[in-house]
Amino acid sequence: MISEKMSVMVKNSSITRAMFEEGKRLAAIYGKENVYDFSLGNPSVQPPVSVKEALIDIISNEDTTFVHGYMNNSGYEDVREKIATKLNQVHGTSFHTNNIIMTVGAAGGLNVILKTLINPGDEVVTFAPFFGEYKNYADNYDAKLVVISPDKETFLPNLKELEEKLTKATKAIIVNTPNNPTGVVYSEETIIELSKVLEKKQQEFGTNIYLISDEPYRELVYGDVFVPYITKYYRNTIVGYSYSKSLSLPGERIGYLVIPTEVDDYEEIFAAASVATRILGYVNAPSLIQRVVARCLDSEVDVSVYNENRELLYGSLKEYGYSCAKPEGAFYLFVKTLEEDDKAFCEKAKKHNILIVPGSAFGCPGYCRIAYCVSKKTIEGALPHFKKLYEEYKE
Ligand code: PLP
């Protein structure tokens, strides 16, 4: 007999689960190569060779009891120091070892910081469309997720509505730029405006509103796009980072939180986040891969592969008549569905062996998400089917 809370969560997970099952079913009938699965954000580009080299060298040459052992719940000190130094070089910040907590990916980091901050009934605000797991993570700590409705013209944050929906109970706001599912990147101007709203409301309520910047796609941007480092604009910012996408290591579960010294109640929060890491059952982020990423801080995946996919898919879909904004980052295209019911549209796409996720899963019905972290062959194979699907609607 599972808990009532889990019953609800299991029910809500059914879209992704159904998609996974459907992919397997279609592959069994039509062959794997004839199923076009755009449903998952699983990187298709190989990790840099430096990852393999570091793994081999660490296993061969570092002390194995150290490499495989427990360490401080926050992570190895030398790893955290290297990450802080790298961030300072890139962003001109002044972080040190005790601003960094190694986490079990971005998901682990978000859970750690919410566990640290949230009392039951507190409000956590986010902007639609948003990564659907935020709802589950908020539920984990009995927070209420308050969703700001999408600006369907720009998919930038609707700051007017934000101002109206912030209350004395708002403990945190989660932003995600570059964004899953839209690929939108918030400009410096947007972040300044957002910070002004938060500052104003903190003063008005006499509370702290922590901005949690969920940044697994920070490095995945196309062209000359600038992704501002939000701690420089808003004092109460906590960053959640992950190597899942930037080094193509999602299964390794590695990332970190940045809790800057300037944050209100920094010492208490940092200490509590270390304890949260332990008591959530993570104990610490996986040891070996902590040591690996510390050696790969200057490495990156070949983003040009995603860029080619983006150009091909975006260009072709626009040519067929679909409507979507060109993403500046991440590896998703957020496309207007050809009927209002996005779930029905995704069902029709399935008839063409195309697997995509309805926008409702991101709090934004009327759209669908196409993850283009797939092989070029998958995109080329799917394009005629996308064209036929469009024509079916126009008949
Ligand atoms: N946040 C966003 C916006 C994501 O898209 C994802 C994964 O796709 C995560 C967090 C979780 O990432 P991780 O694998 O690092 O836990």
Give the C-alpha separation, 36 to 255, whole Å. 30
- Name the band, by pLDDT with cuts 50, 70 and 90, for residue 23: confident
Distances (CA, A) of 74 to 148, 189, 267: 33, 33, 14
**pLDDT value, residue 10:** 86
Q: Report residue 12's pLDDT band, with 50, 70 and 90 as the boundaries.
A: confident
CA separation for the pair 220, 244 (Å, rounded): 11
How far is the C-alpha of 197 from the C-alpha of 203, rounded, in Å?
Answer: 10
Instruction: Specify the pTM.
Output: 0.97
ipTM field: 0.99
Q: What is the pLDDT of residues 46-73, one digit of tens each?
A: 999 999 999 999 999 999 999 999 999 9
Among 16, 127, 133, 357, residue to substitute to test ligand 1 (most atoms within 8 Å of Cβ): 133
374 falls in which pLDDT band (50, 70, 90)? very high
The half-sphere exposure of 267 on its side-chain side, counting CA atoms within 13 A, is: 0
Which ligand 1 atom lies nearest to the CA of residue 330?
5
Please give the average per-residue pLDDT across 107-133, as a whole number: 98
Nearest by Cα to 382 from 324, 312, 322, 305: 312
Question: Final residue of a domain: which of 268, 295, 322?
Answer: 295
For the segment 144-174, what is each residue's pLDDT rounded down to a tens digit?
999 999 999 999 999 999 999 999 999 999 9
Q: Going by DSSP bridges, is the β-strand pair 144-148/123-127 parallel, antiparallel, or unpaired?
A: parallel
Residues 286 and 335 occupy one common structural domain: no
Task: Give distance in angstroms: CA of 64 to centre of ligand 1.
Answer: 30
| Residue whose tokens read 């941007």 | 221
Asked if 313 and 354 sit in the same domain, the reply is yes
Last residue of a domain, one of 251, 269, 295: 295
CATH of the domain at 290: 3.40.640.10
Same domain, 287 and 384: no
Query: What does the DSSP 8-state code read for residue 363?
Result: T
The atom of ligand 1 lying closest to the CA of 243 is 15
Residue with tokens 């926008």: 359
Say yes or no: 77 and 175 in one domain.
yes
Amino acid symbol at 241: Y
* Shared-domain flag, residues 72 and 210: yes
Locate the ligand 1 atom nearest the alpha carbon of residue 250 and give its number: 14
| CA 162 distance to own-chain centroid | 21
* Overall number of domains in the chain: 2
Preceding omega of 129 cis (within 30 degrees of 0): yes
Average pLDDT of the segment spanning 95-110: 98
| For helices 14-30 and 4-12, angle between their N-to-C axes, nearest 10 degrees | 40
Q: How many residues does the chain have?
A: 395
Residues 264 and 354 in one domain: no
Say which residues have a Cβ less than 8 Å from residue 6's Cβ, sequence separation at least 6.
none
Query: Which residue's CA is the nearest one to ligand 1's atom 2?
Result: 131
- Give yes or no for a contact between 137 and 174, defined as CB atoms under 8 angstroms apart: no
Torsion of CA 15, 18, 24, 28, to 10 degrees: -130
Cα–Cα distance, 350 to 27 (Å, whole number): 12
In tens, the pLDDT along 177-206 reads 999 999 999 999 999 999 999 999 999 999
Q: How far is CA 212 from CA 128, 135, 186, 394, in A?
A: 15, 14, 14, 43
State residue 286's pLDDT score: 98
Give yes or no: residues 172 and 274 share one domain.
Answer: yes
User: Could you tell me which residues come within 8 angstroms of residue 246 by beta carbon, excluding any fewer than 6 positions away?
Assistant: 216, 217, 218, 219, 220, 300, 301
pLDDT at 17 over 80: no
At residue 256, the pLDDT reads: 98
Alpha-carbon distance of 37 to 139, in angstroms, equals 29
Report the share of the chain in percent with pLDDT over 90. Answer: 93
Residue 8: per-residue pLDDT: 87
**Which of 100, 71, 72 is CA-nearest to residue 86?**
100
Question: What local confidence, expressed as pLDDT, does residue 16 receive?
Answer: 66
Would you say residue 351 has pLDDT above 70? yes
**Residue 207 shares a structural domain with residue 291:** yes
How many A from CA of 106 to the centre of ligand 1? 5
Per-residue pLDDT at 359 exceeds 90: yes
216: helix, strand or coil: coil
Residues 270 and 149 in one domain: yes
Q: Which pLDDT score is estimated for 116?
A: 98
Q: Are 333 and 317 in the same domain?
A: yes
CA of 243 to the centre of ligand 1 (A): 10
Nearest 10 degrees: Cα torsion 391, 392, 393, 394: 50
- Confidence (pLDDT) at 14: 65
Q: Which SS3 state, helix, strand or coil, does residue 289 take?
A: helix
Beta bridge partner(s), residue 329? 221
* Last-in-domain residue among 240, 268, 295: 295
| Pocket around ligand 1 at a 6 A CB cut-off | 41, 105-107, 131, 176, 180, 214, 216, 242, 244, 250, 255
- Whole-number Å distance between alpha carbons of 263 and 56: 39
Residue 150 CA to ligand 1 centre (angstroms): 20
Q: How confident is the model at residue 232 (pLDDT cuts 50, 70, 90)?
A: very high
Alpha carbon of 137 to ligand 1 centroid (Å): 12
Q: For position 105, what pLDDT does the model report?
A: 98
- Do 360 and 227 share a domain, yes or no? no
CATH number at residue 33: 3.90.1150.10
Which ligand 1 atom lies nearest to the CA of residue 254?
Answer: 15
- Distance from C-alpha of 268 to C-alpha of 285, rounded to nearest angstrom: 21
* 288-321 pLDDT tens trace: 999 999 999 999 999 999 999 999 999 999 999 9
Mutate to test the pocket of ligand 1, among 104, 177, 245, 362 (most ligand atoms within 8 A of CB): 245
Task: Provide mean pLDDT across the span 111-135.
Answer: 97
* pLDDT, tens digit (0-9, with 9 covering 90-100), for 235-282: 999 999 999 999 999 999 999 999 999 999 999 999 999 999 999 999
Instruction: Please tell me whether residues 37 and 93 are part of one structural domain.
Output: no
Which residues constitute the domain of residue 180? 49-295
What are the two backbone dihedrals, phi and then psi, of residue 164, each rounded to the nearest 5 degrees? -70, -30
Average pLDDT value for residue range 131-146: 96
Q: What is the pLDDT of residue 394?
A: 87
Residue 9 has pLDDT above 70, yes or no: yes
